[in-house]
């Protein structure tokens, strides 16, 4: 399966365009537990990531009733991105110093459970940026250019989108 580059600029541009509104091509999951992962999936797709139509374990969206759990679930997206050997985006766990625009930060508000996704939209120069130098966009707590350090008392994990197939 040929590797392709992930277009980080397009993913970030999509995040800026839709951070405070909803793309009508997708269902708004705000009333069904949150829209953050749906938003992040849309950003990845806008960055050139093709959908993976593997039943149950894939990453795709056709409609509210035809979608993979990884399209809208925080833990499911993590498992898909870190384990994907087929079509679609794949990611590597990384440190905050490895983050680039278009990468993902996941937040845990209680030990052992990650429940929120953020898209990195800007990282200031430096070999290992401090938290205030990382800016993100998200849904459910609609934000754009929000400093990562504005979430306190949380555990963070970082995903570097390594490419797409």
What are the pLDDT tens digits along the chain (165 aa)?
668 889 999 999 999 999 999 999 999 999 998 999 999 999 999 999 999 999 889 999 999 999 999 999 999 999 999 999 999 999 999 998 899 999 999 999 988 799 999 999 999 865 555 555 899 999 998 999 999 989 999 999 999 999 999
Reading the block at residue 8, the tokens are 């980080």
pTM, 2 dp = 0.94
């Amino acid at each position: 399966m040929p590797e392709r580059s992930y277009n980080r600029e397009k993913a970030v541009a999509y995040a800026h365009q839709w951070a405070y509104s909803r793309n009508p091509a997708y269902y708004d999951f705000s009333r069904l537990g949150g829209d953050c992962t749906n938003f992040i999936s849309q950003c990845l797709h806008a960055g050139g990531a093709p959908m993976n139509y593997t039943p149950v374990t894939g990453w795709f969206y056709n409609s509210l009733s035809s979608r993979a759990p990884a399209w809208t679930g925080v833990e499911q997206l993590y498992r898909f991105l870190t384990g994907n050997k087929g079509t679609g985006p794949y990611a590597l766990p990384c440190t905050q110093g490895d983050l680039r625009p278009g990468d993902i930060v996941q937040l845990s508000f209680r030990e052992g459970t990650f429940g929120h996704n953020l898209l990195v939209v800007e990282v200031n120069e430096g070999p290992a940026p401090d938290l205030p130098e990382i800016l993100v966009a998200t849904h459910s707590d609609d934000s754009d250019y929000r400093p990562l350090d504005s979430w306190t008392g949380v555990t963070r994990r970082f995903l570097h989108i390594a490419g797409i197939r």
